[in-house]
Homo-oligomer: A and B are copies of this chain.
Amino acid sequence: MRAAILSTGDELTTGRTLDTNAQFIADQLLALGYEVTAMMTVGDFPDRIESAWRTLFERAEIVVSTGGLGPTADDLTTETVARVIGRPLLRDEATAQRIRDLFESMGRKMPENNLKQAMFPEGAVILRNDLGTAPGFRFALETSAGVRHGVVMPGVPREMKHILAEEVLPWMRSLRDDASEWRSHTFQTFGISESALDEMVAGVLDPNTTRLAFRAAFPQISVRVTVHGAPAELDERLARAAAAIRERLGEFCYGEGDTTMEEEVGRLLTDAGATVAVAESCTGGLIGHRLTNVAGSSAYFRGGVVAYSNRVKNSALGVAIETLDRHGAVSPQVAEEMARGARAATGADYAIATTGIAGPGGGSADKPVGTVCIALESARATYSHRYQLWGNREWVKLLTSQIALDWVRRAVLGEDPTRSSVLRK
């Protein structure tokens, strides 16, 4: 089955926004066994949206569209689609009521234009949106070339991903006319580049029967192995292929499936019945933010200190003025005292500390931008290490938070956390 992807919005054609939806959808459709023959982007003009739908229906059996479902006058997708398929727009009362209720529950008056989001082409199947006011919809159309399907979703990535997973992909799976299936398994890695990863697993699998895909959306660097064929044999084939990849990846793999470093840390801490605290300087709160993105993290995350200034390093964490003077705020010694202070203040089993120069200013010949010191203290031991990282401010913060979380993960596993490295091949 061929699929095409349509992205709508002036913010895309004017270059103001990078379209990440199309890539995300393409990746998901590939896993389902669809071939994406074209992706297209047009601005908020009815004639351009209309001609894009017609163009794409010539190239694919199914067109998946995002954007243009908002309540404002420049949101034109629904009415344009209705024109393309020659159906009237009807109001769905259940959706209208849901939108009214949503506003009421927020104690807000609903602007009348919001009811536009309850209009759908006749015969459309509504795709529930739990995260916003605009539901999506799908429709089928008889053409001289055969049946064509259209899927319409909002452009907000969070909402789109939710609708895609809950409402679209299960249906698209059932739509495929072929009994063969695709099954895949994902490994999450850290400490190795995408190209080194590629070399590492090269030649492990038969390219005729399995497929490897790499995806680097840092801090997620993943390898996905996919097998295709008759359902009866797929589980065993996938298990065999995954085992071969798992062996090659070794300790660079920190998790399997759709997981994140902070989720793995949380899982390990929960299993161990242990708690963690943070002492963050250059990461500014990012480690705590990531840890608390995981539901239920209050069971193992105590909190900690954002010690951005030396004064706070001293007053809240008890870092000695002498240590700060002698070694500087960015030093393994200060990181160790920060970790010790956070552990003492919170009573956590593990405390992780970061101090560094995220840039663009603040660097010196001795400690250039990207110099980062990390320390971890537990009842067993204290570890610290100085890293030389690279990149802009945002990148240094993100990379530091990832190394720090990996330290906690390794410490809970009983490993030496300083084995964690972003520099090894």
Contact = CB atoms under 8 A, between A and B. Distances in A.
A216 B39 contact: no
B394 A293 contact: yes
Given A285-B280, A425-B108, A293 B397 contact: yes
A55 to B, nearest CB: 6
A264 interface: no
A14 B28 CA distance: 9
B214 A74 contact: yes
Given A113-B198, A308-B303, A347-B311, A39 B13 contact: yes
A425 B24 CA distance: 31
A288 interface: yes
A303 B309 contact: yes
Interface in A182-196: 193-196
B315 A346 contact: yes
A169 interface: no
A418 interface: no
A268 to B, nearest CB: 18
A302 B295 contact: no
Interface string A363-396: 0000000000000000000000000101111110
Interface stretch (A65-73, A139-147, A249-257, A404-412): A65-73
Contacts of A359: 295
Contacts of A62: none
A207 B217 CA distance: 40
Interface in A128-165: 131, 156
Contact of A285 (B108, B214, B286, B393): B286
A16 B224 CA distance: 11
Interface string A276-289: 01101111111111
A177 B330 CA distance: 54
Interface string A287-305: 1110111011110011111
A392 to B, nearest CB: 7
B305 A304 contact: yes
Given A108-B423, A289-B289, A302 B309 contact: yes
A36 interface: yes
B278 A285 contact: yes
Interface stretch (A41-49, A83-91, A118-126): A41-49
A15 B27 contact: yes
Contact of A25 (B15, B18, B277): B15
Contact of A292 (B36, B284, B395): B284
Contact of A361 (B296, B390, B397, B423): B296
Interface in A1-60: 10-20, 22-30, 36-44, 48, 51-52, 55, 59
A312 interface: yes
A30 B14 contact: yes
A155 B40 CA distance: 17
Contacts of A111: 193, 195-196, 198-199, 425
14 contacts: A37-B42, A70-B195, A71-B198, A72-B195, A131-B391, A277-B312, A284-B301, A288-B288, A289-B397, A297-B308, A298-B308, A302-B309, A303-B307, A304-B312
- Report the 4 A-B pairs with minimum CB-CB distance, sorted nearest first: A285-B288, A15-B27, A284-B292, A285-B285
Interface of A: 10-20, 22-30, 36-44, 48, 51-52, 55, 59, 70-74, 105-109, 111, 113-114, 131, 156, 193-196, 198-199, 202, 212-217, 224, 277-278, 280-289, 291-293, 295-298, 301-309, 311-312, 315-316, 345-347, 358-362, 388, 390-395, 397, 423-425
